[in-house]
Amino acid sequence: MPLPAVSEILGRFRRQAEVERSWPDPARNPTASEFEVDLWTLSSFLLEKLVPVVGTHPYPLNELLLMSAAACRLKPSIVFDWGTHIGASARIFYECERTFNLGYEIHTIDLPSDASHVEHPRAEHGRLVRGLEKVHLHRGNGVKVALDRWRELGEPKRPLFFVDGDHAYESVRDELDEIFSTVPDASAIAHDTFFQSAESNYNVGPARAIQEVAEKFPTRFRMIESGLGLPGMTLLLSY
């Protein structure tokens, strides 16, 4: 009898590991005021599970870590995201929910089919999450659709909003302001927030918008930034 090929043997071990792999809850102390998570657990989760699915574009590893840590630490009742093209961020939140049994559903929103925009997903809309349980695809204005659904669903507690729209100062400011003015216990993650000087020709709009929103709600949340370079990501963590 011929011996099995090395690739077949490795495949068997890989399939067995996938079946037997269990992940501990990375939230060290959910009641602590500090943002405590087990980064070793999350790093293994990213490299073994998330990166093979979504890669590191448009979110580098440090941003994937912040998104995963936020989901595990906050344990939101529901997640809303928009402006993520093929559904990369929704897939990240989906994998986090499924792996760590977090119990939330995801509502992902993108541009209407007849809208004109350089980053319109067209037929690629939600490609990474189509047909997945607990993931709902919507079209329309991101913050409006999200808040309408939040109300229709009975205003669930501790929602998490992922804001990744056109990265303009005015729109990011207005979206965050509307979220925090409407939802008393909302947390939000904003993308493309790395601050540079105006001379760099990099879009500093989201960073400026977040600073203004933080000043408007000075006791509302704690701000946590990925802070390791472009494009940048900021978590506004509700107390």
Q: How do the domains of the chain map onto residue ranges?
A: 37-238
Per-residue pLDDT averaged across 90-98, rounded? 96
CATH 3.40.50.150 fits 37-238, yes or no: yes
Residue 130 gets which letter from DSSP? T
pLDDT at position 94 is: 97
Helix (H) or strand (E) holding 56: none
* pLDDT for the residue numbered 202: 46
**pLDDT at 140 (0 to 100):** 87
Q: Among candidates 92, 100, 85, which has minimal Cα distance to 54? A: 92
Average pLDDT over the chain reads: 83
40-45: average pLDDT:
95
Looking at residue 200, its pLDDT comes to: 44
- Nearest residue to 203 via CA among 168, 229, 233, 177: 168
Lowest-confidence pick of 122-131, 158-167, 193-202: 193-202
pLDDT higher than threshold 60 for residue 18 = no
pLDDT score for 21 = 75
Residue 70: its pLDDT value, please?
Answer: 96
Instruction: Please give the pLDDT value at position 68.
Output: 97
pLDDT at 201: 44
Write out pLDDT tens, residues 59-74. 899 999 999 999 999 9
DSSP one-letter code for 65? H
In this model, does residue 14 exceed pLDDT 60? Answer: no
Give me the DSSP letters along 162-195. EE-SS--HHHHHHHHHHHHHH-TT-EEEEES---
Q: How confident is the model at residue 194 (pLDDT cuts 50, 70, 90)?
A: low
Give pLDDT, residue 10: 47
Is the confidence at residue 1, as pLDDT, over 90?
no
User: 231: cis peptide before it, omega within 30°?
Assistant: yes
**124-162 pLDDT, tens digit each:** 777 899 999 999 999 888 899 999 999 999 999 999 999
